[in-house]
Structure 1
Amino acid sequence: MNIVDTIEQKRAVLFDLDGTLIDSEWFYYKAWKAVLATYGFTLGSDLWLSELAGKTDSQAFEVLRSRYGFQADKSEVFERARKRIAQQLDEEAVPLMPGSADLINFLHQRKVTMAVVTSSKREVATYHLERNGLRHFFDVLVSRTEVVHPKPDPEPYRRCVQQLGLPPKDCLVLEDSFTGATAAKAAGLTCFGVQPHESIRQVLVVDRSFDNLHEVREFLENQWTELN
C-alpha cells in the first residue's frame, strides 16, 4: 500500500455536527427557504449547499446581503427563522447521518476520544446530541457559544484540541463543508471530507474525501488493523 494512503491511528476524532454527524442541512434549508420566501427571496438548494451550509446565521446573512442583494432587518429574519425551526422540531426529529452510529460505536470500542466542534449554539447542539442519545460519547463540545471567531477561523478547533490536551497530530477531523474544512486545516489538523455531493466534495481542501461515514469507518478499520 502506498504510504500516502495510510493514516496512523488517532487518539481523538473531532466531528462537525450539522451535515456530518446529524442530517440537519435539509432540515434547516427547509426552514430558511420558507422564511426567505416571505421576503420574496427564493433560496435554491444549490445556493444553500455551496454557500450557506456550515456557516453561522450571521455569516449566511452576510452572504445573502453582499452577494445577492438581500435587504431585510437582520433581527427580524433571525426571529422568524427561530420560530420556524422551533415549529419544525415539534413536528419532526433530525436524524443521524448514515453511518454515524456505526462509526461512533467503532471508535468507542477502540477507546478513541471523541469531540464535537460546531457552528451551532451550545443549547442547539446539546439538544440534537441528547435527542439522538449521543451526548455521553463526546468528551468535549465546542460550539458557536464559546468562541469569538467561528469557522472558518481555526479558533473552534484549536480550542477543542486544547481542551482535549492532545497535540494536533493525534487528532482527526470529519467535516462536510468548505467552511469547516478550512477551519480544521488552518488549525493544523488532519481532516477528512465527508460529503455526498460531488460538486462540493471537489472543492474541499482535505486530506482525503468520502461519500459517507460508512466509508470512513471502513477505511479507518482497514488502516488501523494493518498498523496493529
Structure 2
Amino acid sequence: MKNIQAVLFDLDGTLIDSEHFYYSNWKPILAQYFGLEISYDDWIEYFAGHTLVDNVRFLSEKWGIETTDEFMWKETRAAYAKSDMTNIALMPYAAEILDELQAAGKRIALVTSSFRTTVDTVLGHHGLLSYFEFFVTREKVSRPKPDPEPYVLATTLLGLPKEQVVAIEDTSTGFTSAQGAGLTCIAVTRQAAERRKLVEAPILLPGLQEVRELLLPSLP
C-alpha cells in the first residue's frame, strides 16, 4: 500500500486480546441475573465489537431479556474492576507494529468504542500510550461504530486526504464504520465468526504480523 501517511487502529481484538476478558465478565452476570448461558462463540458472534448500549438492546431483541444500560454498566464495571484490566494481553505483534510504524514516520491514532479510562488502563500498563497522536473514544462521539462518525472525526483531526489513511479493524462493526467514512480498512482477525461477516472486505488478514508485512514491506 503506497502513500499511506496515517494508520488508525481499533483497540479491542485488534491491539489487545480483550474479548476473553469481556466474555468472562459478562457470562456470570447473564447467568446469575437472567439465566442466560452463552458460549465464547456466542460472544464473538453477537457481542464483540459492539457498545454496551447495543448489547443491552440485542439481549432484548434476541433473548427477550429486559434490563437497563445503567444496570449492566454498574455490574460489568464492578466485574472489570475485580478482574483487573491490566491482565489483558496485547495481540501478537501489537507493540512491534506500533514501533515500526512510528520509526517509519507514520502517524498513528486510536479509534475505539471503549472509554478513555479503558484505553489508559490497558495501553498505559503496556507502555504504549505515547505512540498515539490522539484517541477517538466512546465519549468523543454521539454515534459510535458502526456509524462512520468515529472515523470521520479521526480523519478530520488528521487533516489528511482519505487516500493517505488506513484503518485496522477486527470486526464487521468497525469495518462498516471505517468504510462508511470512506477509508480503506484492513480487516484482521482469526475468529471464524468474524471472518464470515468480513468476506466482502477487500483485505482480510489473520494477524498483525501480516498487516505489518503489508504496510511495511521493506522491513525484515
| TM-score, normalised with respect to structure 2 | 0.94
Match of 2:138 in 1: 144
State the shift of 1:24 in Å.
0.7
Distance (Å, rounded) in 1 between the aligned partners of 2:3 and 2:18? 29
Q: Choose which of 190, 194, 197 in structure 1 pairs with 2:184.
A: 190
Contact 1:185 1:206 survives alignment (8 Å): no
Are the aligned partners of 1:140 and 1:164 in contact in 2 as well (CA < 8 Å)? no
User: Could you tell me how far apart the structure 2 residues matched to 1:143 and 1:11 are?
Assistant: 21
Report matched runs for 1:114-193 at 5 Å. 114-193=108-187
2:216 is paired with a residue whose SS is helix
Q: Distance in 2 between matches of 1:199 and 1:146?
A: 29
**Unaligned runs of at least 5 residues, structure 2:** none
**CA deviation profile, 1:135-191 (whole Å, cap 9, x unmatched):** 100001000001000000000001011111111111111000111000000000000
Match of 1:4 in 2: none
Once residues 162 and 201 of structure 2 are traced to their aligned partners in structure 1, the CA distance between those partners, rounded to angstroms, is 15
- The worse-fitting range, judged by mean Cα deviation, of 111-120 and 192-201 is 192-201
Of 80, 84, 87, the residue aligned with 1:89 is: 84
1:71, distance to aligned residue in structure 2 (A): 2.2
Between 1:148-157 and 1:101-110, the stretch displaced more is 101-110
Which residue, out of 3, 7, 10, partners 1:13?
7
* Distance (Å, rounded) in 1 between the aligned partners of 2:20 and 2:40: 9
Structure 2 residue 60 is matched with structure 1 residue 65: yes
Partner of 2:45: 50
Deviations 1:57-110 (A, max 9, x none): 0011111111221123442232111100110017x6111001101111110110
1:216 maps to 2:211: yes
Change (3 A) 1:107 1:46: same
Checking the alignment, whether the CA contact within 8 Å between 2:49 and 2:171 is kept in structure 1 is yes
Q: Do the aligned residues in 2 keep the contact of 1:149 with 1:155 (CA within 8 Å)? A: yes
Provide the C-alpha distance between the structure 2 equivalents of 1:207 and 1:131, rounded to a whole number of angstroms: 34
Hey, which bits of structure 1, 4+ residues long, moved more than 6 A? none
Identity of aligned residues (%): 38
Task: Indicate if the aligned counterparts of 2:59 and 2:65 stay in contact, CA closer than 8 A.
Answer: yes
Give the TM-score taking structure 1 as reference length.
Answer: 0.91
Structure 1, gaps ≥5 residues long? 1-6
Distance in 2 between the 1:29 and 1:66 partners?
A: 19
Aligned to 1:109: 103
Q: Residue 44 of structure 2 contacts residue 193 of structure 2 at CA under 8 Å; is this kept in 1?
A: no
